[in-house]
Amino acid sequence: MKIFWENDGEPNAEGQYVATIDMENGSGVQRFIGKTHKDVADSLLQAQASATQKITQLSRDRKVDSLPAKPKLTPRALTADEKKRVAEDITDPDKVESAVSTVVEAHIGAPLPVVRERINELSEDEQAATAAEETKAFLRENPDFFPTPHNNQTLLRFMELNRMDPTRNNFAKAFIDLREANLLTPRPKPSTEPPPQPSPQDGIRPGTRPRGTSSTGLRNGDSGATPAARSNEPAPKYTKIEILSMGDATYKDKFDNEPGFRELVDKLFSKPQASA
Protein backbone atom coordinates (compact mmCIF):
# COMPACT_ATOMS: atom_id res chain seq x y z
CA MET A 1 0.00 0.00 0.00
CA LYS A 2 1.25 3.49 -0.86
CA ILE A 3 0.18 6.72 0.90
CA PHE A 4 1.61 9.98 -0.32
CA TRP A 5 0.95 13.64 -1.07
CA GLU A 6 0.93 14.54 -4.71
CA ASN A 7 3.21 17.37 -5.78
CA ASP A 8 5.20 16.85 -2.57
CA GLY A 9 2.37 18.27 -0.49
CA GLU A 10 2.29 21.55 -2.39
CA PRO A 11 -0.74 22.96 -4.27
CA ASN A 12 -1.08 21.75 -7.86
CA ALA A 13 -1.80 23.93 -10.88
CA GLU A 14 -5.44 24.28 -9.76
CA GLY A 15 -4.36 25.36 -6.29
CA GLN A 16 -5.51 22.10 -4.69
CA TYR A 17 -3.80 19.78 -2.20
CA VAL A 18 -4.12 16.07 -3.08
CA ALA A 19 -3.45 13.05 -0.83
CA THR A 20 -3.42 9.61 -2.49
CA ILE A 21 -3.92 6.08 -1.14
CA ASP A 22 -3.04 3.22 -3.49
CA MET A 23 -3.88 -0.24 -2.09
CA GLU A 24 -1.85 -1.87 -4.90
CA ASN A 25 -4.31 -4.76 -5.10
CA GLY A 26 -6.36 -3.72 -8.13
CA SER A 27 -9.10 -2.08 -6.04
CA GLY A 28 -8.26 1.36 -7.40
CA VAL A 29 -6.70 4.56 -6.08
CA GLN A 30 -8.34 6.94 -3.60
CA ARG A 31 -7.59 10.66 -3.95
CA PHE A 32 -8.56 13.22 -1.32
CA ILE A 33 -8.62 16.81 -2.59
CA GLY A 34 -9.00 20.10 -0.74
CA LYS A 35 -8.08 23.75 -0.90
CA THR A 36 -6.10 23.37 2.33
CA HIS A 37 -4.40 20.57 4.20
CA LYS A 38 -7.27 20.72 6.72
CA ASP A 39 -9.80 20.13 3.95
CA VAL A 40 -7.89 17.00 2.90
CA ALA A 41 -7.65 15.81 6.52
CA ASP A 42 -11.41 16.30 6.98
CA SER A 43 -12.05 14.21 3.84
CA LEU A 44 -9.79 11.47 5.17
CA LEU A 45 -11.58 11.48 8.55
CA GLN A 46 -14.98 11.25 6.83
CA ALA A 47 -13.80 8.34 4.67
CA GLN A 48 -12.42 6.53 7.73
CA ALA A 49 -15.67 7.05 9.64
CA SER A 50 -17.69 5.68 6.72
CA ALA A 51 -15.41 2.64 6.44
CA THR A 52 -15.66 1.94 10.17
CA GLN A 53 -19.45 2.22 10.07
CA LYS A 54 -19.60 -0.21 7.12
CA ILE A 55 -17.35 -2.74 8.86
CA THR A 56 -19.49 -2.53 11.99
CA GLN A 57 -22.66 -3.09 9.96
CA LEU A 58 -21.17 -6.10 8.17
CA SER A 59 -20.06 -7.60 11.47
CA ARG A 60 -23.51 -7.11 12.98
CA ASP A 61 -25.35 -8.61 10.00
CA ARG A 62 -23.10 -11.66 9.58
CA LYS A 63 -24.28 -14.79 11.32
CA VAL A 64 -21.49 -17.05 12.48
CA ASP A 65 -21.48 -20.40 14.21
CA SER A 66 -20.09 -20.63 17.70
CA LEU A 67 -18.68 -23.64 19.45
CA PRO A 68 -20.39 -24.51 22.71
CA ALA A 69 -18.48 -22.93 25.54
CA LYS A 70 -16.96 -25.34 28.03
CA PRO A 71 -16.69 -24.13 31.60
CA LYS A 72 -13.18 -23.63 32.88
CA LEU A 73 -12.20 -25.99 35.67
CA THR A 74 -11.46 -23.91 38.75
CA PRO A 75 -10.59 -25.53 42.08
CA ARG A 76 -12.58 -24.43 45.11
CA ALA A 77 -12.25 -24.74 48.85
CA LEU A 78 -14.47 -27.10 50.81
CA THR A 79 -17.09 -25.42 52.95
CA ALA A 80 -17.17 -25.95 56.68
CA ASP A 81 -20.18 -28.28 56.36
CA GLU A 82 -18.42 -30.32 53.62
CA LYS A 83 -15.30 -30.70 55.73
CA LYS A 84 -17.37 -31.89 58.70
CA ARG A 85 -19.31 -34.36 56.54
CA VAL A 86 -16.15 -35.70 54.87
CA ALA A 87 -14.52 -36.16 58.28
CA GLU A 88 -17.55 -38.14 59.47
CA ASP A 89 -17.98 -40.20 56.30
CA ILE A 90 -14.35 -41.06 55.60
CA THR A 91 -14.39 -43.83 58.25
CA ASP A 92 -17.76 -45.23 57.15
CA PRO A 93 -17.30 -48.05 54.58
CA ASP A 94 -20.64 -47.19 52.97
CA LYS A 95 -19.85 -43.47 52.62
CA VAL A 96 -16.10 -43.38 52.01
CA GLU A 97 -16.40 -43.20 48.20
CA SER A 98 -18.75 -40.23 48.42
CA ALA A 99 -16.40 -38.50 50.84
CA VAL A 100 -13.39 -38.99 48.56
CA SER A 101 -15.37 -37.78 45.52
CA THR A 102 -16.30 -34.59 47.35
CA VAL A 103 -12.66 -33.80 48.07
CA VAL A 104 -11.43 -34.68 44.56
CA GLU A 105 -14.19 -32.70 42.80
CA ALA A 106 -13.45 -29.64 44.93
CA HIS A 107 -9.76 -29.76 44.06
CA ILE A 108 -10.39 -30.37 40.32
CA GLY A 109 -13.25 -27.88 40.04
CA ALA A 110 -15.83 -30.13 38.31
CA PRO A 111 -17.90 -33.24 39.01
CA LEU A 112 -16.09 -36.49 38.23
CA PRO A 113 -18.45 -37.43 35.31
CA VAL A 114 -17.59 -34.10 33.62
CA VAL A 115 -13.87 -34.73 34.10
CA ARG A 116 -14.25 -38.24 32.68
CA GLU A 117 -16.05 -36.85 29.60
CA ARG A 118 -13.34 -34.25 29.03
CA ILE A 119 -10.64 -36.92 29.18
CA ASN A 120 -12.54 -39.17 26.77
CA GLU A 121 -13.02 -36.33 24.30
CA LEU A 122 -9.34 -35.49 24.41
CA SER A 123 -8.45 -39.13 23.86
CA GLU A 124 -10.81 -39.36 20.85
CA ASP A 125 -9.32 -36.22 19.31
CA GLU A 126 -5.82 -37.60 19.73
CA GLN A 127 -6.83 -40.92 18.21
CA ALA A 128 -8.46 -39.19 15.22
CA ALA A 129 -5.34 -37.10 14.61
CA THR A 130 -3.13 -40.18 14.87
CA ALA A 131 -5.36 -42.14 12.48
CA ALA A 132 -5.21 -39.31 9.94
CA GLU A 133 -1.41 -39.26 10.08
CA GLU A 134 -1.23 -43.05 9.77
CA THR A 135 -3.57 -42.94 6.75
CA LYS A 136 -1.37 -40.36 5.02
CA ALA A 137 1.70 -42.48 5.74
CA PHE A 138 0.01 -45.59 4.30
CA LEU A 139 -0.95 -43.78 1.10
CA ARG A 140 2.54 -42.35 0.79
CA GLU A 141 4.21 -45.73 1.31
CA ASN A 142 1.77 -47.69 -0.89
CA PRO A 143 1.34 -45.81 -4.18
CA ASP A 144 -0.22 -48.92 -5.76
CA PHE A 145 -3.35 -48.45 -3.65
CA PHE A 146 -6.01 -46.72 -5.76
CA PRO A 147 -8.11 -44.57 -3.33
CA THR A 148 -11.49 -44.83 -5.01
CA PRO A 149 -14.68 -44.69 -2.88
CA HIS A 150 -15.11 -48.45 -3.39
CA ASN A 151 -11.53 -49.25 -2.35
CA ASN A 152 -11.65 -46.92 0.66
CA GLN A 153 -14.91 -48.37 1.91
CA THR A 154 -13.77 -51.95 1.34
CA LEU A 155 -10.47 -51.37 3.15
CA LEU A 156 -12.08 -49.71 6.18
CA ARG A 157 -14.85 -52.30 6.41
CA PHE A 158 -12.30 -55.12 6.28
CA MET A 159 -10.31 -53.51 9.10
CA GLU A 160 -13.43 -52.99 11.22
CA LEU A 161 -14.50 -56.62 10.81
CA ASN A 162 -11.03 -57.80 11.78
CA ARG A 163 -10.72 -55.27 14.63
CA MET A 164 -7.58 -53.74 13.16
CA ASP A 165 -6.52 -50.37 14.54
CA PRO A 166 -5.93 -47.65 11.92
CA THR A 167 -2.15 -47.86 11.73
CA ARG A 168 -0.07 -47.73 8.56
CA ASN A 169 1.03 -51.36 9.05
CA ASN A 170 -2.54 -52.57 9.49
CA PHE A 171 -3.63 -50.60 6.44
CA ALA A 172 -0.86 -52.26 4.44
CA LYS A 173 -1.76 -55.76 5.69
CA ALA A 174 -5.42 -55.25 4.82
CA PHE A 175 -4.48 -53.87 1.42
CA ILE A 176 -2.36 -56.94 0.63
CA ASP A 177 -5.13 -59.36 1.70
CA LEU A 178 -7.80 -57.56 -0.30
CA ARG A 179 -5.59 -57.21 -3.35
CA GLU A 180 -4.74 -60.91 -3.35
CA ALA A 181 -8.47 -61.68 -3.08
CA ASN A 182 -9.14 -59.41 -6.12
CA LEU A 183 -11.57 -57.32 -4.10
CA LEU A 184 -10.01 -53.95 -4.95
CA THR A 185 -9.97 -51.92 -8.13
CA PRO A 186 -6.34 -51.74 -9.32
CA ARG A 187 -4.74 -48.43 -10.16
CA PRO A 188 -4.75 -47.91 -13.95
CA LYS A 189 -1.31 -48.22 -15.49
CA PRO A 190 -0.21 -45.49 -17.89
CA SER A 191 -0.07 -46.67 -21.47
CA THR A 192 3.42 -47.02 -22.91
CA GLU A 193 2.24 -47.69 -26.45
CA PRO A 194 2.17 -44.79 -28.93
CA PRO A 195 -1.29 -43.81 -30.18
CA PRO A 196 -2.19 -45.58 -33.45
CA GLN A 197 -1.67 -43.53 -36.58
CA PRO A 198 -4.15 -43.75 -39.45
CA SER A 199 -2.77 -45.40 -42.57
CA PRO A 200 -3.70 -44.53 -46.16
CA GLN A 201 -4.50 -48.19 -46.67
CA ASP A 202 -7.13 -47.97 -43.92
CA GLY A 203 -8.76 -44.81 -45.21
CA ILE A 204 -9.33 -41.66 -43.13
CA ARG A 205 -12.18 -40.06 -41.31
CA PRO A 206 -13.75 -37.02 -42.98
CA GLY A 207 -11.97 -33.84 -42.01
CA THR A 208 -8.94 -35.65 -40.56
CA ARG A 209 -5.61 -35.20 -42.27
CA PRO A 210 -3.80 -38.46 -43.16
CA ARG A 211 -0.66 -38.93 -41.05
CA GLY A 212 2.78 -40.37 -41.62
CA THR A 213 4.76 -41.12 -44.75
CA SER A 214 6.45 -44.24 -43.46
CA SER A 215 4.91 -47.69 -43.87
CA THR A 216 2.07 -46.18 -45.84
CA GLY A 217 2.37 -48.39 -48.91
CA LEU A 218 3.27 -45.44 -51.08
CA ARG A 219 4.95 -46.29 -54.37
CA ASN A 220 7.23 -44.14 -56.48
CA GLY A 221 4.37 -43.47 -58.84
CA ASP A 222 2.31 -41.87 -56.08
CA SER A 223 4.42 -38.70 -56.01
CA GLY A 224 4.72 -38.03 -59.72
CA ALA A 225 2.65 -38.01 -62.86
CA THR A 226 3.43 -41.58 -63.91
CA PRO A 227 -0.14 -42.86 -63.34
CA ALA A 228 -1.46 -40.27 -65.78
CA ALA A 229 0.92 -41.55 -68.40
CA ARG A 230 -0.56 -45.04 -68.03
CA SER A 231 -4.18 -43.94 -68.29
CA ASN A 232 -6.38 -41.40 -69.95
CA GLU A 233 -7.28 -39.79 -66.60
CA PRO A 234 -5.79 -36.33 -65.90
CA ALA A 235 -3.10 -36.17 -63.22
CA PRO A 236 -4.55 -35.45 -59.73
CA LYS A 237 -4.09 -31.95 -58.41
CA TYR A 238 -2.33 -33.30 -55.32
CA THR A 239 -0.34 -36.48 -54.75
CA LYS A 240 -0.49 -38.58 -51.58
CA ILE A 241 2.83 -37.19 -50.37
CA GLU A 242 1.66 -33.61 -50.93
CA ILE A 243 -1.50 -34.27 -48.92
CA LEU A 244 0.42 -36.01 -46.13
CA SER A 245 2.86 -33.09 -45.99
CA MET A 246 0.17 -30.42 -45.55
CA GLY A 247 -0.16 -28.70 -42.21
CA ASP A 248 -3.31 -29.37 -40.22
CA ALA A 249 -4.77 -25.92 -40.83
CA THR A 250 -4.06 -26.10 -44.58
CA TYR A 251 -5.51 -29.58 -44.87
CA LYS A 252 -8.69 -28.66 -42.96
CA ASP A 253 -9.19 -25.51 -45.00
CA LYS A 254 -8.89 -27.43 -48.28
CA PHE A 255 -11.05 -30.29 -47.01
CA ASP A 256 -13.82 -27.89 -45.97
CA ASN A 257 -13.64 -25.33 -48.76
CA GLU A 258 -11.78 -26.49 -51.88
CA PRO A 259 -14.06 -28.13 -54.47
CA GLY A 260 -13.02 -31.68 -55.33
CA PHE A 261 -10.42 -31.97 -52.55
CA ARG A 262 -12.60 -34.18 -50.34
CA GLU A 263 -13.35 -36.52 -53.23
CA LEU A 264 -9.65 -36.70 -54.15
CA VAL A 265 -8.73 -37.67 -50.57
CA ASP A 266 -11.39 -40.38 -50.55
CA LYS A 267 -10.10 -41.70 -53.86
CA LEU A 268 -6.40 -41.70 -52.97
CA PHE A 269 -6.75 -43.11 -49.45
CA SER A 270 -9.73 -45.42 -49.68
CA LYS A 271 -9.18 -49.16 -49.27
CA PRO A 272 -8.61 -50.92 -52.60
CA GLN A 273 -11.58 -52.94 -53.79
CA ALA A 274 -11.02 -56.67 -53.83
CA SER A 275 -10.84 -58.02 -57.39
CA ALA A 276 -13.52 -60.48 -58.44
How far is CA 236 from each of CA 113, 242, 272, rounded to the nearest angstrom? Answer: 96, 11, 18
pTM higher than the cut 0.95? no
pLDDT score of 141? 94
Residue 235, pLDDT score: 79
CA-CA distance, 145 to 173, in Å (whole number)?
Answer: 12
Residue 224 and residue 239 in contact, taking contact as beta carbons nearer than 8 Å = yes
Burial annotation 214-253 (CB, 10 A radius, 16+ → b, else e): eebebeeebeeeeeeeeeeeeebebbbeebbebeeeebee
- Asked, for residue 242, whether it belongs to a domain, the answer is yes
Residue 243 lies inside a defined structural domain of this protein = yes
- Does any domain span residue 187? no
Domain interval for residue 50: 2-56
108, part of any domain: no
Q: What is the pLDDT of residue 195?
A: 60
| Within-domain flag for 178 | no
3-state secondary structure of 70: coil
For the chain, the domain total comes to 2
Contact criterion met (CB below 8 Å) for 185 and 175? no
Residuewise pLDDT in 10s, the chain (276 residues) = 778 888 888 888 888 898 888 777 766 788 888 889 888 888 888 888 877 777 777 666 666 666 677 777 788 888 999 889 989 888 888 888 888 888 888 888 888 888 888 788 787 888 888 889 999 999 999 999 999 988 898 898 888 888 889 999 999 999 999 999 888 888 887 766 666 555 544 444 445 555 443 333 333 334 444 444 455 667 788 876 677 667 777 888 888 899 988 888 777 766 454 443
What pLDDT is stored for residue 231 in this prediction? Answer: 52
Q: Which of 56, 84, 101 is the last residue of a domain?
A: 56
- Please name the residues in contact with 175: beta carbons below 8 A apart, sequence gap of 6 or more: 138, 142, 145, 155, 184
Give the C-alpha distances (Å, rounded to integers) separating 73 from 57, 58, 70, 160, 176: 36, 35, 9, 36, 48
Q: Is 131 helix (H, G, I), strand (E, B) or coil?
A: helix
Which pLDDT belongs to residue 245?
64
Confidence (pLDDT) at 136: 92
Task: Let me know if residue 275 belongs to a domain.
Answer: no
Which of 30, 56, 82 delimits the end of a domain?
56
In a domain, 191, yes or no: no
User: Is residue 219, in this structure, part of any structural domain at all?
Assistant: yes
Give SS3 for 91.
coil
